[in-house]
Structure 1
Amino acid sequence: MTVLLVALGAAVGAPLRYVTGHVLDRDLPIGTLLVNVVGSFALGVLSALGLTGHTMALLGVGFCGGLTTYSSFAVQTSRLGARRGTTYVVLTLVLSLTACALGFATQA
Protein backbone atom coordinates (compact mmCIF):
# COMPACT_ATOMS: atom_id res chain seq x y z
CA MET A 1 0.00 0.00 0.00
CA THR A 2 2.77 2.47 0.92
CA VAL A 3 4.53 2.02 -2.43
CA LEU A 4 1.29 2.79 -4.26
CA LEU A 5 0.77 5.95 -2.23
CA VAL A 6 4.30 7.13 -2.99
CA ALA A 7 3.71 6.43 -6.69
CA LEU A 8 0.38 8.26 -6.63
CA GLY A 9 1.92 11.34 -4.99
CA ALA A 10 4.83 11.30 -7.42
CA ALA A 11 2.39 10.98 -10.32
CA VAL A 12 1.10 14.43 -9.38
CA GLY A 13 4.37 16.07 -8.27
CA ALA A 14 6.61 14.98 -11.15
CA PRO A 15 4.42 16.34 -13.98
CA LEU A 16 4.12 19.65 -12.10
CA ARG A 17 7.92 19.77 -11.91
CA TYR A 18 8.24 19.00 -15.61
CA VAL A 19 5.72 21.63 -16.70
CA THR A 20 7.20 24.28 -14.40
CA GLY A 21 10.71 23.61 -15.69
CA HIS A 22 9.56 23.48 -19.30
CA VAL A 23 7.80 26.83 -19.00
CA LEU A 24 10.26 28.75 -16.82
CA ASP A 25 13.74 27.26 -17.38
CA ARG A 26 15.53 29.24 -20.05
CA ASP A 27 18.94 30.83 -19.60
CA LEU A 28 18.58 30.46 -15.84
CA PRO A 29 16.83 27.43 -14.27
CA ILE A 30 14.14 29.46 -12.51
CA GLY A 31 11.55 26.67 -12.74
CA THR A 32 13.82 24.15 -11.04
CA LEU A 33 14.63 26.67 -8.32
CA LEU A 34 10.92 27.36 -7.84
CA VAL A 35 9.87 23.71 -7.49
CA ASN A 36 12.71 23.00 -5.07
CA VAL A 37 11.79 25.96 -2.86
CA VAL A 38 8.04 25.27 -2.97
CA GLY A 39 8.59 21.56 -2.32
CA SER A 40 10.88 22.35 0.61
CA PHE A 41 8.27 24.67 2.10
CA ALA A 42 5.56 22.02 1.71
CA LEU A 43 7.76 19.36 3.31
CA GLY A 44 8.44 21.70 6.23
CA VAL A 45 4.69 22.16 6.75
CA LEU A 46 4.03 18.42 6.50
CA SER A 47 6.82 17.66 8.96
CA ALA A 48 5.54 20.23 11.44
CA LEU A 49 2.08 18.70 11.24
CA GLY A 50 3.63 15.47 12.43
CA LEU A 51 2.29 13.43 9.55
CA THR A 52 3.45 9.85 9.42
CA GLY A 53 2.64 6.59 7.71
CA HIS A 54 0.43 6.61 4.66
CA THR A 55 -0.18 10.35 4.67
CA MET A 56 3.53 11.16 4.71
CA ALA A 57 4.18 8.52 2.05
CA LEU A 58 1.60 10.14 -0.24
CA LEU A 59 2.36 13.81 0.39
CA GLY A 60 5.91 14.00 1.73
CA VAL A 61 7.75 11.24 -0.08
CA GLY A 62 5.52 10.97 -3.14
CA PHE A 63 4.31 14.47 -3.95
CA CYS A 64 7.20 16.53 -2.52
CA GLY A 65 9.75 13.98 -3.72
CA GLY A 66 8.26 14.02 -7.21
CA LEU A 67 7.97 17.81 -7.26
CA THR A 68 11.51 18.57 -6.17
CA THR A 69 14.53 17.51 -8.17
CA TYR A 70 18.15 16.97 -7.37
CA SER A 71 19.12 15.50 -10.73
CA SER A 72 17.96 18.50 -12.78
CA PHE A 73 19.50 20.80 -10.19
CA ALA A 74 22.86 19.03 -10.58
CA VAL A 75 22.80 19.02 -14.39
CA GLN A 76 21.74 22.65 -14.62
CA THR A 77 24.37 23.70 -12.09
CA SER A 78 27.03 22.04 -14.22
CA ARG A 79 25.77 23.73 -17.38
CA LEU A 80 25.89 27.16 -15.74
CA GLY A 81 29.65 26.95 -15.28
CA ALA A 82 31.77 27.59 -12.24
CA ARG A 83 30.76 31.12 -11.26
CA ARG A 84 27.05 31.07 -12.13
CA GLY A 85 26.73 27.45 -11.01
CA THR A 86 28.17 28.22 -7.60
CA THR A 87 25.81 31.17 -7.22
CA TYR A 88 22.88 28.95 -8.22
CA VAL A 89 23.86 26.26 -5.69
CA VAL A 90 24.13 28.76 -2.85
CA LEU A 91 20.85 30.45 -3.82
CA THR A 92 19.02 27.12 -4.06
CA LEU A 93 20.34 25.84 -0.74
CA VAL A 94 19.66 29.04 1.17
CA LEU A 95 16.17 29.52 -0.27
CA SER A 96 15.17 25.86 0.05
CA LEU A 97 16.37 25.49 3.64
CA THR A 98 14.77 28.80 4.58
CA ALA A 99 11.50 27.75 2.94
CA CYS A 100 11.54 24.46 4.82
CA ALA A 101 12.14 26.24 8.12
CA LEU A 102 9.37 28.75 7.36
CA GLY A 103 6.99 25.96 6.45
CA PHE A 104 7.77 24.23 9.72
CA ALA A 105 7.41 27.50 11.66
CA THR A 106 3.98 28.24 10.20
CA GLN A 107 2.64 25.18 12.01
CA ALA A 108 4.52 25.63 15.29
Structure 2
Amino acid sequence: SARPTKITKFILAPKEFMGTSHQNPLSWLKNIGHLRKVVEMSNEEVLFIASSHLHGQVEKWWEVKEDKIKIWNDFEQKFKSQFASPQLKEQWWSKIQSL
Protein backbone atom coordinates (compact mmCIF):
# COMPACT_ATOMS: atom_id res chain seq x y z
CA SER A 1 0.00 0.00 0.00
CA ALA A 2 1.11 3.53 -0.69
CA ARG A 3 2.39 5.90 1.96
CA PRO A 4 -0.07 8.69 2.81
CA THR A 5 0.07 12.07 1.16
CA LYS A 6 1.62 15.16 2.75
CA ILE A 7 -1.77 16.35 4.00
CA THR A 8 -2.16 13.19 6.07
CA LYS A 9 0.56 14.27 8.48
CA PHE A 10 -1.55 17.28 9.45
CA ILE A 11 -4.74 15.28 9.85
CA LEU A 12 -3.13 12.47 11.83
CA ALA A 13 -0.66 14.51 13.90
CA PRO A 14 -0.83 13.18 17.47
CA LYS A 15 -1.65 15.50 20.34
CA GLU A 16 0.73 16.09 23.20
CA PHE A 17 0.17 13.93 26.26
CA MET A 18 0.97 15.31 29.70
CA GLY A 19 -1.00 12.90 31.87
CA THR A 20 -3.39 15.52 33.21
CA SER A 21 -6.77 14.45 34.56
CA HIS A 22 -8.67 15.81 31.54
CA GLN A 23 -6.63 13.71 29.11
CA ASN A 24 -7.63 10.15 28.32
CA PRO A 25 -4.48 8.01 27.95
CA LEU A 26 -6.41 5.22 26.21
CA SER A 27 -7.68 7.59 23.50
CA TRP A 28 -4.17 8.99 23.06
CA LEU A 29 -2.76 5.46 22.64
CA LYS A 30 -5.51 4.58 20.19
CA ASN A 31 -4.69 7.63 18.07
CA ILE A 32 -0.98 6.79 18.02
CA GLY A 33 -1.80 3.17 17.13
CA HIS A 34 -4.05 4.32 14.28
CA LEU A 35 -1.31 6.62 12.99
CA ARG A 36 1.15 3.72 13.16
CA LYS A 37 -1.08 1.55 10.97
CA VAL A 38 -1.92 4.25 8.42
CA VAL A 39 1.68 5.38 7.96
CA GLU A 40 3.05 1.83 8.35
CA MET A 41 5.60 2.76 11.00
CA SER A 42 8.22 0.45 12.42
CA ASN A 43 8.49 -0.03 16.19
CA GLU A 44 11.37 2.42 16.25
CA GLU A 45 9.41 5.06 14.32
CA VAL A 46 6.21 4.80 16.38
CA LEU A 47 8.15 4.93 19.65
CA PHE A 48 9.99 8.02 18.43
CA ILE A 49 6.75 9.76 17.39
CA ALA A 50 4.92 8.79 20.59
CA SER A 51 7.77 9.79 22.88
CA SER A 52 8.23 13.13 21.14
CA HIS A 53 4.64 13.99 22.15
CA LEU A 54 5.10 13.20 25.85
CA HIS A 55 5.55 16.10 28.26
CA GLY A 56 5.81 16.78 31.97
CA GLN A 57 5.55 13.77 34.29
CA VAL A 58 4.92 11.46 31.33
CA GLU A 59 8.13 12.56 29.62
CA LYS A 60 10.03 11.84 32.85
CA TRP A 61 8.40 8.39 32.98
CA TRP A 62 9.57 7.72 29.41
CA GLU A 63 13.13 8.80 30.21
CA VAL A 64 13.25 6.02 32.83
CA LYS A 65 11.62 3.37 30.58
CA GLU A 66 13.14 4.26 27.21
CA ASP A 67 16.09 1.85 27.33
CA LYS A 68 13.83 -1.06 28.33
CA ILE A 69 11.00 -0.58 25.81
CA LYS A 70 11.83 -1.42 22.20
CA ILE A 71 8.47 -2.47 20.73
CA TRP A 72 5.11 -0.70 20.54
CA ASN A 73 3.15 -3.45 22.31
CA ASP A 74 5.42 -3.15 25.36
CA PHE A 75 5.00 0.62 25.32
CA GLU A 76 1.21 0.29 25.20
CA GLN A 77 1.12 -2.18 28.08
CA LYS A 78 3.44 -0.21 30.36
CA PHE A 79 1.82 3.12 29.44
CA LYS A 80 -1.64 1.77 30.32
CA SER A 81 -0.36 0.35 33.60
CA GLN A 82 1.16 3.69 34.54
CA PHE A 83 -1.40 6.21 33.28
CA ALA A 84 -4.73 4.36 32.98
CA SER A 85 -5.12 3.34 36.60
CA PRO A 86 -8.30 1.67 37.87
CA GLN A 87 -9.12 4.88 39.78
CA LEU A 88 -8.81 6.95 36.63
CA LYS A 89 -10.99 4.50 34.70
CA GLU A 90 -13.58 4.74 37.48
CA GLN A 91 -13.56 8.55 37.22
CA TRP A 92 -14.17 8.34 33.46
CA TRP A 93 -17.11 5.96 33.94
CA SER A 94 -18.57 8.31 36.54
CA LYS A 95 -18.28 11.22 34.10
CA ILE A 96 -19.87 9.19 31.30
CA GLN A 97 -22.74 8.04 33.50
CA SER A 98 -23.43 11.59 34.67
CA LEU A 99 -23.88 12.87 31.10
Structure with the bigger RCO (C-alpha within 8 Å, sep 6+) is 1
Whether TM-score is above 0.5 comes out as no
> If the TM-score is normalised by the length of the shorter chain, which range does it land in?
0.3 to 0.5
- The TM-score normalised by the length of structure 2 is 0.35
Q: Whose helix fraction is larger, Structure 1's or Structure 2's?
A: 1
